[in-house]
Amino acid sequence: MRKILHADCDCFYAAVEMRDDPRLREVPLAIGGHSEQRGVIATCNYPAREYGIHSAMPTARALRLCPHLTLLPGDFDKYRQVSRRIQSVFHELTPLVEPLSLDEAFLDVSDVTRFAGSATWMAQWLKQECLSRTGITVSVGVAPSKFLAKIASDWEKPDGLTVIPPERVSAFVRELPVTKLHGVGPATAARLEALAIETCADLERQPLERLIKEFGKFGRRLFELARGIDDRPVRVERERKSVSVESTFARDLPDLPHCREALAPLCERLEARLARHGHPPVAGRFVKLRCDDFRLTTLEERSGAPTLPGFLNLLDQAWARRQRPVRLLGVGVRLVSDDARRQLTLPL
């Protein structure tokens, strides 16, 4: 039986700022861009959440909900430094660490013999060490699978520790709302609700054939998750599938000439980012536009280098689809998969 931990820092960016300035601990605090520049909230502390503020919310709306909100720009160099110290604690426990972002990771501790092999004691040590070394609280979930460990880490936030032992998996999962399942977004949740499926107990009663008929390949995944089945391993190296950059403009770009003018700086930023990643092999390129009505258009080519003329051609075609002012413009590339790279390097 596997032993998986999911460690998740509590409101990480805000927590770092509150650590460095204790005066911020009791006031509503958010990290994000300015409303004048159409910024969004990256994260916020728990006093801010009491006003209904959450990550990815437009800053302007957050300020309407809480006019006295303290808004800080993100200091990502500082956050990365703290993240590296937290990740080093993870690696002291096990080499099998799969980072998901700066503030969370999966750890496979199945073969760890310290702490008498108790994953619960490991999680307690992890929380204590992260707090004492960095001043940041971490919530940890312990379970036999990644799916359940991630749910468990969110169960008693902040500063939580939830353990789902193997003998409790079935009972725990049956009571879960289907909206807690990995991959179930608003659209899938609405379809499940239309089928009178609200909990995993409801889902468990559905025949596999019906779920596949209603949801295609994802139906099998739903069938497995409703039974607590998740065999995904902790992957030490995560494959990067794309590299992209984008900008949200303080004022909408009114027409195609203005969009074309804004494209060149984006291509330069993309080239710099690709250089930082060692110029990985490119499988295709894409352009993304979000118009003033918030609808998104993406146009992609399965081949082609990340050149300005190529992106301009894609932009012209994408603009023709909507022909509306543009609030966000992005460019990016799809990368050649690891499997494809291995195939290309096989000897003849």
Say which amino acid occupies 73. P
Cis peptide before 347 (omega within 30 of 0): no
Residue 88 to residue 241: CA distance in whole angstroms: 25
Pick the catalytic residue from 104, 129, 214, 300.
104
CB atoms within 10 A of CB 185: 8
Q: Are the C-beta atoms of residues 270 and 245 closer than 8 Å to each other? A: yes
Mark whether 104 is an active-site residue.
yes
For the residues of 69-93, what is the DSSP string, one character each?
A: -EEE---HHHHHHHHHHHHHHHHHH
Longest dimension (CA), the chain: 67
Q: Which of 131, 152, 120, 137 is nearest to 6 (CA)?
A: 152
Environment class of 302 (CB within 10 Å of its CB; exposed 0-12, middle 13-18, buried 19+): exposed
Spatial separation of the C-alpha atoms in residues 200 and 223, rounded to whole Å: 9
- For residue 12, how many other CB atoms are within 10 A of its CB? 23
Counts of helices then strands in the chain (DSSP H, E) = 14, 12
Instruction: Show which residues are catalytic.
Output: 104
